[in-house]
Amino acid sequence: MYLLESIRIEHGEAQLLEYHQERMRQSAWQLWQIANTCLSRMGSQISFPKQGIYKWRLLYNAQGIESSEIIPYQRKPIKSLRLLDILICKQGYITDSSYCNVALQHQTGDWHTPSTPLLKGVMRQHLIDNHIIKETSIQQTDLKHYTKIRLINAMMPWNNCIELPINALQTSKP
């Protein structure tokens, strides 16, 4: 079994490295009961591109890092989300999108993220730790109380993420 970690490289710097290290450590321990590679040591041995945004893609397993590649990052254009298709709803609760965690802006102006994600992403955890978003139980029926949705992940930080009005959610299949 292999796991994949995607790390944003911006202006030659690996972003949120300590969060990625922690997630990799927890995953390696849960799956294989082992410690894993130290990312900061590995990152210090790599010459990252100094301009632009790149994805550092690591594929790893119980034996360690299988592959490491740095590729230019191209964000997918998204104009709407289809509930139960791209925006995942499990047992009536919002979880994630197909490749991002989500944050929703409540009518009060506060930003919430579902307390039931399928994957606890590093950007999501960073935003929770810095009190920018708050974990909240969000049911599908609660969406009427929200005005915006943001898609966040390690490659799409808060100030550069995809933001859509809540009415961009398509709640029924065409």
At residue 81, the pLDDT reads: 62
Residue type at 45 in one-letter notation: Q
Residue 122: burial class (beta carbons within 10 Å; 0-12, 13-18, 19+): buried
Residue type at 52 in one-letter notation: G
pLDDT, one tens digit for every residue, the chain (174 residues): 889 999 999 999 999 999 999 999 988 888 898 877 788 788 888 899 999 999 999 999 998 889 999 999 988 777 666 654 477 888 999 999 888 999 999 999 999 999 999 889 999 999 999 999 999 999 999 999 999 999 999 999 999 998 999 988 876 544
For residues 109 and 91, membership in a common domain is answered with yes
Number of domains making up the chain: 2
Contact 149, 103 (CB under 8 A): yes
For residues 89 and 166, membership in a common domain is answered with yes
> Residue 59: which CATH number?
3.30.470.10
Q: Return the closest-CA partner of residue 17 out of 39, 1, 42.
A: 39
For residues 85 and 154, membership in a common domain is answered with yes
From the CB of residue 34, how many other CB atoms can be counted at a distance below 10 Å? 11
For residues 46 and 91, membership in a common domain is answered with no
Q: Which residue, 37, 72, 107, sits at the end of a domain? A: 72
At residue 42, the pLDDT reads: 82
For residues 105 and 67, membership in a common domain is answered with no
At residue 173, the pLDDT reads: 46
At residue 126, the pLDDT reads: 97
Domain that holds residue 45: 3-72
| Structure confidence by residue, pLDDT tens digits, 73-115 | 988 777 666 654 477 888 999 999 888 999 999 999 999 999 9
pTM: 0.78
At residue 34, the pLDDT reads: 87
At residue 76, the pLDDT reads: 76
At residue 20, the pLDDT reads: 93
At residue 124, the pLDDT reads: 97
